Structure 1
């Protein structure tokens, strides 16, 4: 897509991380790796989700039709095409439908069944949102692990703002991912007494323009296609943010799906089958990176992590 140089320009350039006690006193610092990006000097590109979205949208908008503020209501696959009805737009027919609509995929629900059939809940609940850089962090992260919660702040956009992360472990809790007020209340209840800058973060949380909260989960499926409908990214094989591989796996999956469909010509069934055959082993290895028994994910040796994330040969389609 020609976006590598642009992505590198948007790197977070985080230099390291501090770990503090509940009063903000630094316990130790790490200039070799960070909780969000791994090794500081890694060739991997760490960038903000909103920056990546802007890059992808800018590259595709001239040739792709986008329908915003809408959702699919029904999918009818008659073998020759898929008739799609929308909540707002007029119904249309498509040769193929690719569901790339995330962990709580509507396309997956309509075609394969309820989410509960495929979701593996990891028990960690996390919120991420934009805050002012009130700690005056200089390409830096600061983290505090409380008795039962975690909080972190890291600078963003050349230190002009910051991102906050709040997390806790509860394997029994169920909160609707669309119920923001319930999420606010749960975070307030759990975070308020754990010290550090949680009070400020809880204050900023309620006015954040991009507040996100969900339980860290994986999607496990035996197949990613049915008829003329296929899934890609988190919709079909979410690794969870705890793996550090969600975006990489999703983009690679989209590339392989497109490549195999191109290679198969008019035989979309062959394209879908080859997509699964080419990619499912890599997906399983990346999902293995996360343990559901240890909050925040199991500690995996860096050498093993590198072996897994590079354990695929990418074809030149």
Structure 2
């Protein structure tokens, strides 16, 4: 069934793949963004997309963002850039009774440390940080809205997104380019923890796939949250070994304490590493498979390699040795 879909944040990494998917599925698509940035990957489908510029932060502050979205006459709204419960609540109140479906992009960080693996929707531990707490509040708000007979909502929770134009979370759980430089040079890599900690990546197109499936099956998806991740997760050790192989190297891991690790990098990179490795998450996708037919195309290392190759080809990352794959 063809519907008019408004994608908020449509020119971002998920939107780069979701918007063309929706066009090809026969939907009328409006991409809303705060600027005129082009999508990260060219696709002829964008010629059929209406593009609208809206400053969400300013509109939220004025209490007019919901009205601005409604003015676009959507049947379905996909919100890829909502980060506070207040912003989500305002949009829900504006859309209630006026649109068929609201889909929200959450995060697997709406859960905290892993206690049982894989983590199933609804069974994770509480998030420890401000970002995760906000994402959990939004997901719970949306589920309560639908359960109470209000707006039909869906929450999709991506893992660590990778793809063209995106810097991948590296084997140490941060965005320090020096990690890739050390791996490519065959230099020792200081690793806090045991090396068995887990990270769960996902290609942006696989996240887009799950959103598309939820739009195509609104009754099945309504009121649910779904994890959008690759079929498998990577340990720190395994990820580092695979990455070293891309440069024709063997990995050289150097176990260190967290205090010692913090002395080797910036506070921001160390905090990012702790956030990823302390959670040590591996998410289940069985619910998304069973309910919606989710079938991610990319294993995590395939998605990361695509990101890394893009960064190197576009001069966004410099290393001393080229890829050999």
TM-score normalised to structure 1 length? 0.26
Bigger share in strand: 1
TM-score normalised to structure 2 length? 0.25
Bigger share in helix: 2
